[in-house]
Amino acid sequence: MQLFDLSGKTALVTGSSQGIGLALAKGLAEAGARVVLNGRDAARLQTAAADIPGALTLPFDATDHAGVRAAVDGFEAENGAIDILVNNAGMQHRGPLEEFPAEAFERLLQTNVASVFHVGQAVARHMIKRGAGKIINIASVQTALARPGIAPYTATKGAVGNLTKGMATDWARHGLQCNAIAPGYFETPLNAALVADPAFSEWLAKRTPAGRWGRVEELVGACIFLASPASSFVNGHTLYVDGGITASL
């Protein structure tokens, strides 16, 4: 279907050497896009790219403003336009709020929020000149809900949701669509400790109407929709892909 066809488009996915980022990159490639994998570890990116026909790699630290700008500008000059950006880079740190290390809080802010600003701004500068572009930020079920032990992470994902609205408000008039995907609980390396905890998995099955963990492949359809012409009048929206957890008490 042409509405969902990404042929001829180039998609940059940050934090895409594993987990959700890699699954989304594979899905975008299957929809016709040329994908560009990003992370700080060049070797891991090369390993991931080997599974995606035509994939490119662009190693940089998404928390380094100057480094991001140089990498994005250099790629555009050498390889052409970045039509789709998926801001996926993120991290987690768990602990009681009253004992939460200040340095861990700063790392969360830089990795989960500042990276979205740095990469989003660097890519949007080019998109604005062309009058078109798709930016998809990876939020979380914690954009709307909180759980014990992850208050700083919850704060960062709330910020991602509002930054997405701000991007849309500033950039929609330039032809950009800026939206977010908010995953619920998915089996990823970031959640490995929770997946391995039978008590948590039992709680999750009862708390989630779908009754199970999500699979990363189940995020691909939402990403293709927001990356494609099908979402041409969708802007500033956070799409929850969570098995119904935000819909149910």
Question: To which H or E segment does residue 71 belong?
Answer: helix 65-79
Cα 234 from Cα 229, distance rounded (Å): 10
- What are 5-29's pLDDT values in tens digits? 999 999 999 999 999 999 999 999 9
Residue bearing tokens 């699954």: 23
What distance lies between CA 107 and its chain's CA centroid?
17
| Per-residue model confidence (pLDDT) at position 189 | 83
Q: Which residue has the higher pLDDT, 194 or 11?
A: 11
Q: Report DSSP letters for 106-151, one per residue.
A: HHHIIIIIIHHHHHHHHHHHHHHHHT-EEEEEE--GGGT---TT-H
Cα 104 to chain centroid distance, Å, stands at: 20
Closest of 39, 35, 117 to residue 71, by C-alpha = 39
Q: What DSSP state is assigned to residue 84?
A: E
Q: pLDDT-based confidence at 48, cuts 50/70/90?
A: very high
**Mean pLDDT, to the nearest integer, of 197-221?**
96
What ranges in 131-246 are assigned the alpha helix state H? 151-171, 192-195, 198-207, 220-227
- What pLDDT is stored for residue 248 in this prediction? 95
pLDDT confidence tier of residue 193, bands split at 50, 70 and 90: confident
For this structure, is 153 an active site residue? yes
The one catalytic residue in 60, 75, 117, 153 is 153
Inform me whether the pLDDT recorded for 49 exceeds 90: yes
Q: What's the pLDDT score for residue 191?
A: 85
For residue 236, name the pLDDT band (cuts at 50, 70, 90): very high
**How far, CA to CA in Å, does 56 sit from each of 32, 34, 35, 144?**
14, 8, 6, 34
CATH architecture assignment, domain 2-240: 3-Layer(aba) Sandwich (3.40)
Residues 6+ apart with CB under 8 A from 33: 6, 7, 9, 10, 11, 83, 84, 227
Span 72-93, pLDDT tens digits: 999 999 999 999 999 999 999 9
Spatial distance between the Cα atoms of 148 and 192, rounded to a whole number of angstroms:
17
Report the SS3 class of residue 66: helix
Dig out the tokens for 201 from the structure: 């998995």
Which pTM does this prediction carry? Answer: 0.97
Task: Answer yes or no: is pLDDT of 1 > 90.
Answer: no
